[in-house]
Amino acid sequence: MIMDSKLISFIGASFTSLLWTSLPSVFFTVLLLIFACLLLTKYQRHYQYLGYFLLGIVWMASVGHWQYSLQLSSKQTSQPVQIIGTVKSVVIAKENIRFNVQVKQINEQVLFYSKTFRLSWREPNWQVQQGQQVKLLVKVKPPHGLGNEAGFNYQQWLFSKGIVATGYVKSHPDNHLISHKTSVRQSLLNRMLALDLPNRTWLAALTFGYRGLLQPEDWQLVQKTGVAHLIAISGLHLALVASLSYVLIAWVCGGLLSRIPRSHHFNLHNLAMVLTLGTTFTYSALAGFGLPTLRAWIMLLLFSVCFVCHIHLGVQRVILLGLSTFVLLFPLSIFGLSFWLSFFAVAMICFVFWRWPVTKNGFSLGAMLSGMLKVQICLTVLMLPLIAWQFSYISWVSPLVNIIAVPVVTMVLVPICLLAVIFLVIQPDWAYWLFYAADKTVNYGLRLLNLVLEWEAAYLDLAAMPALVWLAVFLFVLGCCLPAYWLRKKYLGVLLVPLLSYLFTEQHNSWQVDVLDVGQGVAVLISKNNHVIIYDVGAHYPSGFNMADSVLLPILQARGVSNVDIVFISHNDNDHAGSLGQLLKNISVSQILSNQDSCIKGLDIQWQGLTIQGVWPDNANHHSDNNGSCVIKVSDQYHSVLLPGDIDKSIEKQLVAFAPQTLQADILVAPHHGSNTSSSDAFIGTVKPEYVVFSQGFMNRWRFPRQEVIARYQANNAILFSTSHSGQVVFRMLYDLPDPIRVATYRQDIRPYWYANFPRK
C-alpha cells in the first residue's frame, strides 16, 4: 500500500505538467530536486510521498528543458541546412511525400543526440523508404501549428512525438541516397500493397499499423461507428498475439521437452512466457513500435517478470508500475490524446470487472458473449464523457457494432493477416489467398458499417462544452454504477445541471469577431446568437489539406452551428477563397457574396441588428485581384470591425478621400497580411483602429507583417496581434453598449499551456 501511494504521488505530479502554463526555471527545478532528495533521505516515513511528488515535477520539468535544448538555432532555421539521417516513417507515395528523419548530422556537425525532423518533398529523386540513410538539403523551421479553439492541434502532436523541426527538401545535386537498405516493415508492407486487393488500405492498418492510406471519409466511418480503436495495432491485438503465442509455444515446447528426459526440470510455463515476450516484441516492431503497442508490451513485460519470479502483485500495483515506467521511458506521450484514451479505457475495464465480477466457473459461449456485451456497454457509457469532450459527438451504435467487430477483428482478421505476413516471406502465393480472405471479410465489415451509419440516429453531434461539464457528467455516470450503499444516488442529478444549462440555447446581448489562424490567408467569423457569417475561408493546397476541414468546420461543429447565414469572399486568391468548395460540401450556407457580384461598394445588410456595409470595390473587373477585394465594415452603435482584404495603398488613398467616416473602426484586420504595399499612414490615421490583427503564416517567405508596417501602427498606438504568434484572436462586444471590447487569444488565454505552444517564439 505504501509503494502504491508513492507511485501515485509520482504519476500524479507528472500529470500536473498538463496544467502548467510555463516550465519551472532550471534553477527552481534544481532546488526542487535537492529538496526531494532531502525528504527521501532524512524523513523516510512522514514526507516520502511529498518527495516522490516533487520528483515527478522535477522529471517532467527536466524533460521540458531537454526538449528546449534540442531546438535548432536561429541560424539553422534562417537558411537551408544539409542533413544526414535515417528515414523513420513508412513511405508509400512517390511524390508529395511527408516523412520523419532521424537526423545525425547537420551541415558538418555530428550530433551527440539525434533530432527528429518532419519533412515534405514534392518531387523526390528516388523512392523514399523507411530505413534508408539519406543526405538532403532542407529548409526547416521550429515546430508550429495552427492555433484555434477546435480542430487538430498539430503543434502539440509534434511535441508529443519529439519532433524538433518541420520543413521541406530543396532540390540540390548533393541530395543522394547513402544506403538503400529498407526496414523489414517497409519491405513487407510493399509486398502486401503490390497484391491485387481492393481493401489493402484497411489491411495495411490492421496488419502493419500503417494508416497513411486511409481517407478522411474512412476516418469518419470508423469514428462515428465507434470502431476506430480496431483499425490499427493496439494493446488488444498484442494481447491476442501474446495468447496465441503462449499456447502455440507451450504446445510445441511441451512436445519437444517430453521427449528429452534431461529437460523435464524446465518450467514450461516460464519458458513459454519468455519466448512470448520475443514474439510480441517482433509484432510490436511490425507495427512500427507504436506507443499503444509499446504500452501493452511494457505491461506484458511486467506481468511476465512477476510470473517468472513468483512475485505476487495486484492488478492495481501492476498498472501503477506500468504507468510509472511509461512516464519515465516515454514522458512526451502523456501530451498525446492516445495515451489518455488507452489509460482511461484500461481503468474503466478494471472498474467494470471490479463492479460486476465474473462469478461463473467454466467456459460457455453464452457467458463469453454476455461478458463481452456487458464490457462493451459499460465501457461505451463510461467513456462517453471523454469521447464527447474530445470529439463533440456520441455514437449510439458503438456497443452493438463492437460486439460484432471486436471478435471478428481479433479472432479472425488479425490471425489471418499475421499468418499471411509470414507466408509473404516463405510462400507469396499462399499469402495472397490469405490476404484475399481477409480482404473479403473487411469488405463485408465495411458494408455493415456503412449500413449502420446511414441510420439517422447512429450518432449525435454535440456543441463543444468545457471539460468541467463533462467531468460532472462522468461523475454522474460513475456514481450511478457504484454500489447503492456507497452514496445516496438521488442527489446525483445535481451533476447534470451544468450539462443541461449548455444544451439550451440562450440569447446573448453580445456579438463576437474571431480572426482565425489559417496560416498565410484570411478567415474571419462574426457570430451573434449562434448565427454566423464568414469573411473569407482560407486556402486549399494540392495535397488536399484545406482550411475548411481543418479550421472552419471543426469550430462551427464545436459551437453547434449547422448553417452559415452569409459567406463573403473578398477575392478569388487561393489564400482567401480556396476552401470555399470544401466548406459548401459539408455545411449549409444560405448566401454567398463575392466581389464579382453583390459584395461591392454600396452594399447594406442588416443582420441581427448589426449593419454590414460594402466599402469597396466600385467594380472589381476594373482592378487587379487584390485591389478588387471586397471591403466590408460590420458595426453596431458603438463597435465596428473593418475587413479590407488585400487592397494596397492606391485603393486606401481613394477610400481615405471619398469615405473617411466609413473607414473608422475599432478592429482592423490589416490589409494584405501586413505587406508594406498596404497600410499607409493616411489609411491608418483615418481608420484609427484600437486593435489590429495580422493574419499571416508562421515564418512566411514574404516576412509579413513587415517591420515598417508594424512601426506605422505602433505610432498610432494600436494594439497589435498576429495569428502566427497569438493564434485565433477573439473580440467580444456587448451589443449597442459602450462597454470596452474584451479580447482573448488562443495561445495566451484559450489554451496557454506550455506544451501546446512549444517552443514559444
User: What tens digit of pLDDT does each residue of 97-124 get?
Assistant: 999 999 999 998 999 999 999 999 999 9
Share of the chain above pLDDT 70, in %: 93
The pLDDT tens digits of the residues spanning 562-580 come to 999 999 999 999 999 999 9
Give the pLDDT confidence score for residue 257 in this predicted structure: 63
Q: Is the pLDDT of residue 323 over 70?
A: yes
Q: pTM of the predicted model, to two decimals?
A: 0.89
Q: How confident is the model at residue 614 (pLDDT cuts 50, 70, 90)?
A: very high
Return the CATH class of domain 74-182.
mainly beta
Give the pLDDT confidence score for residue 360 in this predicted structure: 57
Which residues contact residue 374 at a Cβ distance below 8 angstroms, ignoring those fewer than 6 apart? 352, 356
| CA-CA-CA-CA dihedral for 40, 42, 46, 48, to nearest 10 | 0
| CA-CA-CA-CA dihedral for 8, 11, 14, 16, to nearest 10 | -50
Which of 389-398, 500-509, 550-559 is predicted most confidently?
550-559
Give the pLDDT confidence score for residue 25 in this predicted structure: 93
Q: How does 594-613 read in b/e, with b if 16+ C-beta sit within 10 Å?
A: bbeeebbbebebeeeebebb
Give the pLDDT confidence score for residue 109 in this predicted structure: 93
Give the pLDDT confidence score for residue 224 in this predicted structure: 87
Q: Which residue has the higher pLDDT, 78 or 491?
A: 78
Q: How confident is the model at residue 265 (pLDDT cuts 50, 70, 90)?
A: low
Give the pLDDT confidence score for residue 256 in this predicted structure: 67
Q: Is the dihedral of CA 381, 382, 387, 392 positive or negative?
A: positive
Mean pLDDT of the region 679-694: 97
Partners of 115 in the β-ladder: 103
Share of the chain above pLDDT 90, in %: 57
Q: Which residue has the higher pLDDT, 665 or 313?
A: 665
Give the pLDDT confidence score for residue 535 in this predicted structure: 98
Q: Is the pLDDT of residue 422 over 60?
A: yes
Q: Which residue has the higher pLDDT, 130 or 362?
A: 130
Q: Is the pLDDT of residue 362 over 60?
A: no
Give the pLDDT confidence score for residue 372 in this predicted structure: 64
Q: Is the pLDDT of residue 521 over 80?
A: yes
Q: Which residue has the higher pLDDT, 410 or 602?
A: 602
The pLDDT tens digits of the residues spanning 624-637 come to 999 999 999 999 99
Give the pLDDT confidence score for residue 27 in this predicted structure: 95
Mean pLDDT of the region 349-354: 79
Give the pLDDT confidence score for residue 466 in this predicted structure: 82
Q: How confident is the model at residue 296 (pLDDT cuts 50, 70, 90)?
A: confident
Residues of the chain with CATH 3.60.15.10: 510-750
Give the pLDDT confidence score for residue 481 in this predicted structure: 83
Query: What does the alpha-carbon distance between residue 615 and residue 601 come to, in Å, rounded to a whole number?
Result: 5
Give domain 510-750's CATH architecture.
4-Layer Sandwich (3.60)
User: Mean pLDDT in the chain?
Assistant: 89
Q: Which of 79-83, 167-171, 197-201, 354-358 has the lowest mean pLDDT?
A: 354-358
What cell does 84 get?
Answer: 544526414
Q: Are 215 and 205 in contact (CB under 8 A)?
A: no
Residues of the chain with CATH 2.40.50: 74-182
Q: Is the N-terminal amide bond of 705 cis, ω within 30° of 0?
A: yes
The pLDDT tens digits of the residues spanning 494-505 come to 888 888 887 776
Q: Is the pLDDT of residue 75 over 60?
A: yes
